[in-house]
Amino acid sequence: MLAYHRYLGRGSVYGLNTEDDMISVIVLRSAGNFLAVQVDQVATEQEIVIKQLEGPVPKPIGIAGATVLGDGRIVAIADVLELIDLATGRLRKDTGGTLWDESGDKAAADAADDKAEPTVLIVDDSITVRSLLSITFEKAGYRVEEARDGKEAWEKMKSGLPCDIVFCDIEMPRMDGLELLSRMQKDSVLCELPIAMLTSRGADRHRQMAYSLGAKGYFTKPYLEEQLLDAASRMLKGEIVGAPAVV
């Protein structure tokens, strides 16, 4: 970024005023990779609901979906992970969709598959908890998706959001974590997705209820990063973590 600033910050040398010499840059991060993107303007920061693109037209590369602003405008939402993949050469700029570079033999392709980042969906109505969990999982090499409550998580998963594992709070507005868990277990596709509850409720009855509904793990706040990451790795292998003993 310092080199980038020195390259662009030469307005005084060429006679430009301070305003002409100013640019807006956002820094994107994914699993230790950083990408600086120049934008026309940094307008504001706000929480949004991303609607998945539907229909026969392939999803454009670098676009995650769209959202509707308060004034009715529809705005495309950039896919940070795909933009970083494009910048690092992991994606081709093929017209009409997202394609992984298929160069190399089958062994190389298999190796790439083994290194694929698993995607974790974090469901919590606290933006602070979501942010902290995102940092934890991104540092460990996960791709991270977020939802503010069970209803948003359900809508995202039913609309085709790629996801390998879910960490979910219990007490949330609109749809709580136990209802989301129950719905997932009744779905022929989502029932295979491992989900762990991460909540402030530590009573045995809540823990037993979650496991009886199909949870693969149950953790209380405050949590230990190492414990969550170890549990996530085991759950991805099909294990049930920390289930109460059956008497």
User: What does the pLDDT read at residue 246?
Assistant: 53
Q: Is a pLDDT exceeding 60 seen at residue 19?
A: no
Q: Is a pLDDT exceeding 60 seen at residue 51?
A: yes
Structure tokens at 62: 């670098």
CATH code 3.40.50.2300 region(s) in the chain? 117-236
Q: Is a pLDDT exceeding 50 seen at residue 149?
A: yes
Q: Measured at the alpha carbon of residue 196, what is the angle toward residues 191 and 200, in degrees to the nearest 5?
A: 140
Structure tokens at 218: 């149950």
Q: Using CA atoms, how far apart are residues 163 and 197, in angstroms rounded to an integer?
A: 16
Q: Is a pLDDT exceeding 70 seen at residue 4?
A: no
Give one word for 187, left, alpha or beta, with left for phi > 0 and alpha for psi -120 to 50: beta
Q: Using CA atoms, how far apart are residues 37 and 86, in angstroms rounded to an integer?
A: 12
Q: What percent of the chain has pLDDT over 70?
A: 74
Structure tokens at 101: 């570079």
User: What does the pLDDT read at residue 119?
Assistant: 94
The pTM of the full predicted model, rounded to 2 decimals, is 0.54
pLDDT in tens, 164-209: 999 999 999 899 999 999 999 999 989 999 999 998 887 888 899 9
Q: In the 8-state DSSP scheme, what is residue 85?
A: H
Q: Give the CATH H-level superfamily of domain 117-236.
A: Response regulator (3.40.50.2300)
**First-to-final CA distance of the chain:** 59
Report the DSSP pairing between strands 74-78 and 217-220: unpaired
